[in-house]
Structure 1
């Protein structure tokens, strides 16, 4: 699931997918290389930031946009190819540590993590006493609305349902909501609203088969899923809102520019209150990971990768432009509570404050796909919420054995 979630987060556009990771640049042939799968708008700013970083440097950082980056990393890193650093949410730290994919840069840092970044961001970058990346932003999906269809944001889920119901008319190509309905990351706000959790790092167990989680899935079944297109794929959901055929979308900062480029007036707002529960979205911390290619790399490559991550995460120009242009929520202490970074950042930050951080535990990697499959079964009326979650929990635990 993490690979699909993050491919979704990065958007749909980009370069044609490479079928062989070795075709892409790596430590053997291009010096220090950064991989990403940002949207086109994010990529443009990233390239500007890299150009500023590279100015007057002997060892330059090379940048490559890599669609389906998960598959590429899985192939490249074990063979000693691929990047020295890449951008991704923090939830891979545990599983990548377990697979020896990442490099502990504790002895190479020149900045004080605890004195520079928020507590959550510092925790996200660390694992088993090591530092495996530098945090530069936090994220969550939240509610967005089309100003031509909605006068003001709904304060409660009941108000949101009323508006969705007003517009929902599939025979005319109109829907109440654009949202990947079976993607655990996107629907975590509702699935975890009554205290249920996909995974608990302390117990090292999933709790999707417990009553409070099943109640959250039933909330989705009754209040959210009736208003989304029948095709659960991300690619099918996005155009509905972008084309002005739905009043609401649930999505992240990576998609805001694309929606606005579609000439709709988009306002980003926080998640609505839920009667009897609390909206509890999953949140993520974006890291510049350090890969195991740095273990035996020349000193100048280690320096370039680390200095880039530190520079980008502390540069005022990078922090402010990412916030103002893409709704990226700063995790640098000096900017984390800045009220002047725009309404988008404020709205995303409010939703982040409601949420819980995605577990980075290696066991979480085995949770995403079974949960998504179970949610699709409930979404398609093939199984009850209780039966689907029971079966998914059994499958997850069998994978851990």
Structure 2
């Protein structure tokens, strides 16, 4: 399984989908450990967490070594290594980074055993579940960074039960990506978009109207576009899959996009056709831009087009550094981890470079919506404004898998939208019990 495929499935919080994949792929760990100035480093398979025994004392106080975990596409790993090297070269502390193939599995086994990292990076939707399971530590009283520096959505995403359990560094959602060699101007409505897809679509010659991975995160814009929803703890019922408005959204997505997509709804097949220049449109996230840049695609990004009678309402995520429960022990290694996280999330130069190179959407108030951002990133920023933050409630983790199964069945014609979503709702309620 490619790094990009892995990152998309995981980083977007599709925890249930990951569970279904566990039997299909082996647990793999790609080490990208980085130590001070040398770009090399140890292996994170040391079986232990950070240790204050590794610390040295300098004139300005103790210097700590902290381990941090993340899960990134191959195209983003060099930038992360460079960031860690930059920090290490200008700090008394040392950060050791490692890319983890199955971050969900690794964190849930290592953290309780006291063998996990001080920090790990993921979308915000684990906040509620991991907080309730005792995997995280509130660090609000220890931070020198104010949450007022970030957008409201980002500041809210890293808090749970009054505790600050991490720091945010970027936003994510899906937007419309268009091939400038095919599309004269980005469509404002789905109807306009469909007319372009109709003209370009020619699967017998390898041409498609759109490349669009069809899973719960990517399809959320439409299932939630007519008043529907997957799960909302503030609503009654909390589970909204059987609402007529949610069913309407799924039907809309199938009617308007499926006819112009490759037959395989999976990420790799859908992402490939646009990246190879063989689709007029793609619906994808900012992580996709590094691939398109690498492929030399002439593309633009804009917010999702409006469906007749509705408004696109995609799930949005805040990528954050989580403070693992090991941070509660304090000491110089915890100081090292906090220092790195604070620098990483507030350094404007780093955030701007990530926006330019990777399409990362800054959540610093000073940069959000700024004219300094590349036009493509501003397109994603507009899409974030259309969206709805993924719920952090622990019950949400049981929603992703059954909804994913329902969407696949509906896409493949194995069940109609209404019965597919009803089956998913039944499965979710059983999982909750």
TM-score (norm 2): 0.86
Partner of 2:138: 104
Alignment of 1:40-79 (within 5 A): 40-79=74-113
Q: Is the 8 A contact 2:175 2:304 kept in 1?
A: yes
Partner of 2:163: 130
> Match for 1:87 among 121, 129, 134?
121
Structure 1 unaligned runs (5+)?
11-15
> Match for 2:9 among 5, 8, 16?
5
* 1:267 paired to 2:297: no
**CA positional deviation for 1:370:** 0.4
Alignment of 1:1-400 (within 5 A): 5-7=9-11, 17-18=28-29, 23=45, 26-28=48-50, 31-113=65-147, 115-181=148-214, 183-203=215-235, 205-296=238-329, 299-400=331-432
Structure 2 unaligned runs (5+)?
1-5, 15-26, 32-42, 55-64
Q: Is the 8 A contact 2:7 2:72 kept in 1?
A: no
**CA positional deviation for 1:68:** 2.4
Q: Is the 8 A contact 1:7 1:68 kept in 2?
A: no
Q: Is the 8 A contact 2:166 2:322 kept in 1?
A: yes
**CA positional deviation for 1:128:** 0.7
Q: Which whole-Å CA distance do the structure 2 matches of 1:38 and 1:22 have between them?
A: 16
Q: Which whole-Å CA distance do the structure 1 matches of 2:303 and 2:275 have between them?
A: 19
**CA positional deviation for 1:176:** 1.3
Distance change (3 Å), C-alpha of 1:270 and 1:91: same
**CA positional deviation for 1:264:** 1.7
Distance change (3 Å), C-alpha of 1:7 and 1:362: same
Q: Which whole-Å CA distance do the structure 1 matches of 2:392 and 2:99 have between them?
A: 24
Matched position secondary structure for 2:79: helix
**CA positional deviation for 1:328:** 1.5
Q: Is the 8 A contact 1:90 1:284 kept in 2?
A: yes
Q: Which whole-Å CA distance do the structure 2 matches of 1:384 and 1:122 have between them?
A: 40
Matched position secondary structure for 1:339: coil
Structure 1 residues 257-283: Cα deviation after superposition (integer angstroms, max 9, x where no partner): 111211221111111111100011111
**CA positional deviation for 1:39:** 2.2
Q: Is the 8 A contact 2:11 2:123 kept in 1?
A: no
**CA positional deviation for 1:202:** 1.2
Matched position secondary structure for 2:238: coil
Distance change (3 Å), C-alpha of 1:69 and 1:24: farther
Q: Which whole-Å CA distance do the structure 1 matches of 2:13 and 2:76 have between them?
A: 12
Distance change (3 Å), C-alpha of 1:26 and 1:161: farther
Matched position secondary structure for 2:169: strand
Structure 1 residues 182-226: Cα deviation after superposition (integer angstroms, max 9, x where no partner): x11111111111010111121372101100000000001111112
**CA positional deviation for 1:107:** 2.1
**CA positional deviation for 1:4:** 6.6
Structure 1 residues 168-191: Cα deviation after superposition (integer angstroms, max 9, x where no partner): 22222221111111x111111111
**CA positional deviation for 1:19:** 10
Matched position secondary structure for 1:249: strand
Matched position secondary structure for 1:247: strand
Distance change (3 Å), C-alpha of 1:50 and 1:4: closer
Distance change (3 Å), C-alpha of 1:177 and 1:136: same
Q: Which whole-Å CA distance do the structure 2 matches of 1:258 and 1:140 have between them?
A: 17
Q: 19-28 or 350-359: which moved more?
A: 19-28
